[in-house]
Every structure is written in C-alpha cells, then in structure tokens.
Structure 1
Amino acid sequence: MGTTRIQLDAALDSRRLPEMETLLDGRQQKKIAGRDDWSIRMGHFWSGLSAGVELIELCNGPLSIYILPTRGMGIWQARYEDLQVGWNSPIKQPVHPQFVDLKGRNGLGWLDGFNELLCRCGLASNGPPGHDEGASSPLESDLTLHGRIANLPASDVELFADDESQTVGVSGVVDECTLFGPQLRMKSTVTSKIGSSSFLIRDEITNIGCDSTELQLLYHTNVGKPFLEEGAVVECAADRVIPRDNRAAEGIRSHGKCLGPTAGFAEQVYYYHLLADANGETQTLLKNKAGNHGISLKFKTVQLPCFAVWKCTQDERAGYVAGLEPATNYPNFKTFERHHGRVINLAAGATYTSELQIEIHPDAESVAQASAQIRKLQGTCQQQINPQPTAPFCPID
C-alpha cells in the first residue's frame, strides 16, 4: 500500500503567505476612489521559527504591503501587480522574536531574524555591537547590533479605511521600555492611497519616561531582484560621499553602481550628505540596468539627516541585496555618533516624528520621472567624493 503524505509546514516555502482572513474590503464595506479591489487581511504563521508571527496585508488595489506587527511593525515585503518587492534572504520566513537572541553571535544575533524589505534599527541605539562607555547607566552599556525595536511586538493594532483621504492604513504601538532605563513608545502608521504605487510610514516616538533619554532611528530598507542586478544604479542628490571603511574605499569611484551576484563579495557601505528642496524633502532611487524598474524613498532631511547605501552583492544563496538607509545618525558605533552630535536627546514627554514614503516604479516612464527629480535636486552642486573614510562621518582606521 502507498503512503499518503500531507505537508503541513508552510514555513518551508520562500515568501509563503499564511492563510489570511479579510477584515475590511471594498466589496463588503465601501468603495473608495471608485474602487472596490482594496482590502485589509490578517493572518499568522503557525509553524517553525515563524510560529505566532502576525501578518497584515494592506492592499490598495494594485499594491499590497505586508506588515509584521510581531516584528516591530516592520514591512516584510510588498507587491505591485506582478512585481515582487523585497529580497531573498537566507532567512526565508519572518522569525518570531522569541527565537532571536540579540546577544548571541557576539552581539550579532539580530541577523538571525533579518529578512524584511524594511526594518527599523533603534530605538535606544543602532549600529554595531560593543561596550558604550558613554552610556547613562550600566543597563545601556552593552549594545547589540541595531538595537531592539525590530524584535518587539506591537499592541493596539488598528486597521482603517478613509473616504476623505482615499487611503487604507494600519497602525500599531511598540514599547521599548525598561525599569531604570529608556522608556520609548513608537506609534507607527502605514498608509497607502487607493490605486497608487506608494505607501507612507509615519512614526511618532514618545519618551514616556520622566527623564530625557537618547534616541537613534534608522530605516534599513532592503531590495533585491528585479531592481538590483548587474548595472543597477543608486541615485541621490548629495554634496558629500564618504566610504565607511577601507573596504568601501576600494570601490568609491563606483559607489552608485551595483554588481551582479558575486561569490565572496564583502559588503561596502557609503555615507551621503544629501541635498533637499525648498520644503526640506529629498529623494533616493535604486533602478535596474534597463531603467524600467525602480524603487525610491522620499523623506525630509530635518527628520532623517543621514543616509547610507549598503551594497551586499554577494552570491544569491547568501543574500543578494542592497540597502537604502535614511536615519537620524550614521550606523557607526553609538559612542562615535554621540561624540559628533548625532544622537538625539529626547526630553521627557517629547515626541520625535519621522515620515518615509516608499514608491515602486514599475516602468521606464516612472523611473525616468524619479531620476529627473533627483537631477533637479542635485542642480549645479558638484559632489565631493572622499576617497578615504573621513571624520566626522566615520572613524578613521
């Protein structure tokens, strides 16, 4: 007699979605902007390292954004029509924070759960691990890679659809608090206009403690194929470009150009001082070689004054990816960033707000428009390209 087998573990398949329940949609509730193909669905993974991870699909019609309340309101991936947006990490499915030991792997345990299109680094610290001699208390002195916020679950999750603004959205609250230490509360709201190819992330971070506390925030935005490929280009308007270290200095003359999957490639990181328009807004873009697929980030430099590009064009099986990283600071060790005035001191009761808009460009016309906007921002300003690591942007070896 033959054996009948049933595969129950959905987490074995790359980017496999769990069963989702529709909570709001345009067919049962109401049309918005004349469309009924929007929806907000929710489900959870139930096996393996993903067991218990909640997933929300925010769909505006052609665009779906997959949000992870269990992982700090990170964005796992997105899809615009048939265009997949994200990257193929060796970690295939979202990992529940209970399985991520931040202190493991010599303080690099954060990497055990890293596979999102967008995850935040912070809130009390980001950057590499180590001992922070300038910490206000021993509780805060031993830092792990990129902090805690990406591995903390959200509460007070709310789903909404709004006729007036023609948007659908999801919000959640994440507390990064400890006794005798920082007490930071982040309310994150993700919204998208019906029928658009973009979405907006608005984070309001409040110090709910009774004393001032330090704040660092970086949006680790990670993109692979079909945007990243040999000949892909990162574009941004900047007056300074600085290699993070000697390894990055090796490729400084091609800092904006990307390789195809390259076995043995060691990551390169470049820091930019960006230019902004009269409203303080800037834009960065990653586009493929043909210029018919792209993804751009828009943000205000007063909120996110620092920008880094992470090129990790290693073998596809190792995780072929590029990162566009707007932040309040450069991803150096916190002691260095504090010394150079790039660590925020948030007063008791104060709120720090940042907004980041991510847009998918599905065709050559849309990519060309984004590229033209960046050229307009650059204007006649010549980029100063530093051939070596340069203070105060990064430590000098």
Structure 2
Amino acid sequence: MTGVNAEHMDPHADVGEVVAGVAFDNATRSDALAHMGSMQQAAYVRPITYREGRAHGLDAIEVKNGPLRFVSMADKALDVSEFEYRGENLTFLSKPGLNGRNQFDTHGQEALRSIMGGLFFTCGFENICGPYSTPEGSRYPAGDYPMHGRVRTTPAEHVRADARWEGGDYVLEVSGEMREAELFGENLVLRRAIRTTYGEPSIIVDDEVSNESFRDEPLMWMYHCNFGWPLLAEGAEVVIPSRVATPRDETTAADTTAWNEIGAPEANKPESVYIHELAADESGRSFAAVVNRGLGLGVVIDFSVEDFPHFMEWKSMASGDYVVGLEPSNSKVYGRGWHEERGDLPMIAAQSSQRKTLAFTVVEGRDAIDALIARRDAMLA
C-alpha cells in the first residue's frame, strides 16, 4: 500500500484500502476473518503500564492497525508518544526519555526536563510556549502559567479503548477526557478521541474543549508535533505550503540554512523557529509534512486553517536534540503575554465548546511523496 492519495487527505473522507493484497469492504469482511484466528494477529488495542525509569507507572494504550503502531498515554492527556510505520520510528524522543506524569512538569522552565516529544503533545490551555505570570492590574485572572501549559500533564478519566467491526472496516479507537481546573479558577474539559482503521496509514484526532465554568476563559491551543530519526535525517525535507516564513528572533534570522532543508546534526547548533503563513485549498484545509525520499516515507498533518490560524516550525539541528516540530495553533509562539498586550488572547465563552480535528497520515513511496509536493505547489499557485 502506498498511502492515501495526497489530494484526499481529509480526515472525514472515506478511503478504500488494500491490505496485504486483500481488499476488505462490506462484502469481503469475512476474508480477513478467514485468514486469521484472531484479529489481534494483525490489529489490536492493548492497555499497558510501564515498569521502569521515569516512565514507571505510566498507563498507556498501545494500538496496532496492521502496518501502523502508536501509543496513547492515558496518564498524559492521551497524547501520542510512539508512532511507527512498518517498524520504522517516525517521532522524536528527547534525552530524558519516556516520562510519566511528574509534578515538576508544571514548574516553569523545569518542563525542559520532562518534555519528551512524541508524535504530539497538547499545549495549553491557559498558556503556550514560555512560562508566564499575569502582571498586576491585568484584566485577566492572576496566575502563573508553565511552559506549554498544564493540559499535557493531565491524566485522562473515563478512558475507553475499543476495537470493532463497522461494516467492512475494523476500527480501533481510544477516547477519554482531561480536566484542567482550579478552585475559584478555570474548569476546562478536553474530550478526545483518536481513531484509526485496520490497514489505513493514518490516525484522526478529534478534540472538543468545553468551558464548564461560569466565566469566559483563555483558550490557547497548540499541537506540538515532533519528528525525529530515521525519518529526520540529512536530505529530508519539510513540506509546507508556506506563503511567508518569518523568523521568530535574530538567532533564527541568522540561520543560513533554508527552513525546509534538513542537514546533518551539528554540535550545539542553536534552535530556529519560523512563523508560517499557510496557503489552503478551496475547502480551507492545509497541511504540513516531513518527507524522506531515501527512506521512502513521510508524515503529513492535515488540518483546517480556520481551526488553526497560526502555524510554527521548530527546527533543532543540534546533535542530541535533532528534531523538527510542526505546530498548528490558535495562537502565536510569542506566548500569552504577547496576546494580552495586543488584546487578542483567544477565549472560550462560559458554558460553550470548541472542537478541532487533525489527521496524521504516513505517505509511502516516490509517487506518494511526489503527489504531496504537487499538492503544495497547487496551493501556492
């Protein structure tokens, strides 16, 4: 299978699939059952608990849908840590390694000792990016907000893991809810469902945040998506339909390497961060991807620009910290204080909800990568 056609990466679209040469649809579901004693031979959803190191006690759910395998961390917002395709790792794991939910996660800069990367971790909801404290006299509630917020360290409740037939599709799904709340403060609930289908090279993340308090609340919402070796290697490419790429700071502006080019690791090379203005198709959808022609693989993130009007690229080519982060967001990388000063801090009304969806799709083979490049070029035409 060569992946989903790049022109049809809408997470709500129906995609016909071929697995190991056998087509499974409503009429031929029995073919799968005829070839296997148990569907867990090829696809499963399994609760697991880690037993050592910083991850000791971390509850998670391992999902395999045939060629695709991922792990959703029940103790950390159901964020996806591991993400593999045909046995190849596609994500970044930082030097501290796999981490459970540690209390120091939410103490300012200490987040750097626990942020582990993974396919994505959820940033927000009252802050993204650097730590921030509300100044005296602010019209917003006083508080101290850690790097990338608190929701990423919030354990899930009402967790559900399921694998079932829906007609000819064998569907695997993980769901649950996370509550970011404080006495006399916010009461935000994230209800998340992550869904995939046997044989499809993609997962769909469907999130809804509800404000269950009785006042309007800030709602900064970003997905920090992290790609690493072997997908990220010399000669790989960042593929984004970017109309304008603005360096975040002078360090980034001084980086002589193009934002879309991936070179070899360099000792102590400073990170670069770019703010992109994305093009979109007629339906208002855009994407971002990392592709590696030598490996014959790429990962594409699909999303709506209405849901995510801001997009950042974090590029670290430093030895040992070799990663590219792609970050669809409803707010900018400059953080909460910047938005407060401008008067455009994203908010969610009391007793209301907001929903956002994005999809991660693996593309495989030269033709699929070429189609993705053509998709970008068509958006920029």
Displacement after TM superposition at 1:207 (Å)? 0.2
Which residue of 273, 277, 283 corresponds with 1:273? Answer: 277
- Cα deviation 1:96-152 (Å, max 9, x = unaligned): 22353422xxx21122222222101101111111323246222x2x22111001111
Q: Secondary structure in 2 aligned to 1:57?
A: strand
Work out whether residues 105 and 114 of structure 2, in 8 Å CA contact, stay in contact via their aligned partners in 1: no
d(CA) in 1 for partners of 2:257 and 2:86? 36
Aligned counterparts of 1:286 and 1:234: Cα–Cα separation in 2: 5
1:237 corresponds in structure 2 to 241
SS in 1 for 2:128: coil
Q: CA deviation at 1:212?
A: 0.9
Is the Cα–Cα contact under 8 Å of residues 32 and 194 in structure 1 kept in the other structure? Answer: no
Which TM-score applies when normalising by structure 2? 0.85
Query: Which residues of 2 match residues 237-316 of structure 1 at below 5 A?
Result: 237-251=241-255, 254-288=258-292, 290=294, 292-315=296-319
CA pair 32-280 structure 1, distance change in 2 beyond 3 A:
farther
Secondary structure at the counterpart of residue 42 of structure 1: strand
Amino acid at match of 1:362: E
- Tell me whether 1:210 sits opposite 2:211 in the alignment: no
Separation (CA, whole Å) in 1 of partners of 2:30 and 2:280 = 33
For residues 279 and 338 of structure 1, the distance between their equivalents in structure 2, rounded to whole angstroms, comes to 31
Q: 1:67 aligns with which of 45, 48, 72?
A: 72
Q: Tell whether the 8 Å contact from 2:126 to 2:145 is kept in structure 1 after alignment.
A: no
Distance in 1 (CA, whole Å) between partners of 2:219 and 2:119 is 23
CA–CA separation in structure 2 for the residues paired with 1:233 and 1:272: 16
Q: Structure 2: which amino acid aligns with 1:69? A: A
Unmatched runs of 5 consecutive residues or more in structure 2: 1-28, 34-38
- The corresponding residue for 1:157 is 159
Query: Given the alignment of the two structures, is residue 226 of structure 1 paired with residue 230 of structure 2, yes or no?
Result: yes
Give the number of equivalent residue pairs. Answer: 341
Could you tell me whether the CA contact under 8 Å between 2:72 and 2:79 is conserved in 1?
A: yes
Cα deviation, 1:50-98, whole Å, max 9, x if unaligned, reads 12211211211111111001011111111111221212421222x2223
Give yes or no for contact 2:89–2:231 (8 Å, CA) kept in 1: no
Q: Which amino acid aligns with 2:318?
A: Q
> What does the per-residue CA deviation read over 1:308-360, in whole Å, with 9 as the maximum and x for residues that have no partner?
11111111xx3211101111112212121234465321111111111110112
2:114 corresponds in structure 1 to 113
Map 1:1-397 onto structure 2 (within 5 A): 34=32, 36=39, 37-93=42-98, 95-103=99-107, 107-115=108-116, 116-133=118-135, 134=138, 136-138=140-142, 140=143, 142-164=144-166, 166=169, 167-251=171-255, 254-288=258-292, 290=294, 292-315=296-319, 318-340=320-342, 342-379=344-381
1:205 Cα deviation after fit = 0.4
Identity %: 24
SS in 2 for 1:370: helix
Structure 1 pair 219–101 and aligned structure 2 pair: CA distance change class (3 A): closer
CA contact (8 A) 1:292 1:365 kept: no
Contact (CA 8 Å) 2:293, 2:369: kept in 1 or not? Answer: no
Q: How far did 1:32 drift? A: 8.6
- 5+ long unaligned stretches in structure 1: 1-30, 380-397
Q: Distance in 1 between matches of 2:74 and 2:58?
A: 8
Asked if 1 retains the 8 angstrom alpha-carbon contact of 2:208 and 2:354, the reply is yes
- Comparing 283-292 with 254-263, greater Cα deviation is found at 283-292
TM (norm. structure 1) is 0.81
Distance 2:53 2:232 in 1: 30
- C-alpha separation in 2, matches of 1:98 and 1:78: 22
Cα displacement (A) at 1:253: 6.4
Displacement of 1:291 after TM fit? 7.0
Aligned CA distance change for structure 1 residues 32 and 43 (closer, same or farther; 3 Å)? farther
- What letter corresponds to residue 106 of structure 2 in structure 1? L
Aligned-partner Cα distance in 2 for 1:180–1:100: 23
Question: Take 2:119 and 2:139, find their aligned partners in 1: how far apart are those partners?
Answer: 31
Call closer, same or farther: CA 1:32–1:361 in 2, change over 3 Å.
farther
User: Aligned letter for 2:113?
Assistant: D
In structure 2, what residue type is equivalent to 1:320?
Y
When the two chains are superposed, the root-mean-square deviation of aligned CA atoms in Å is: 1.9
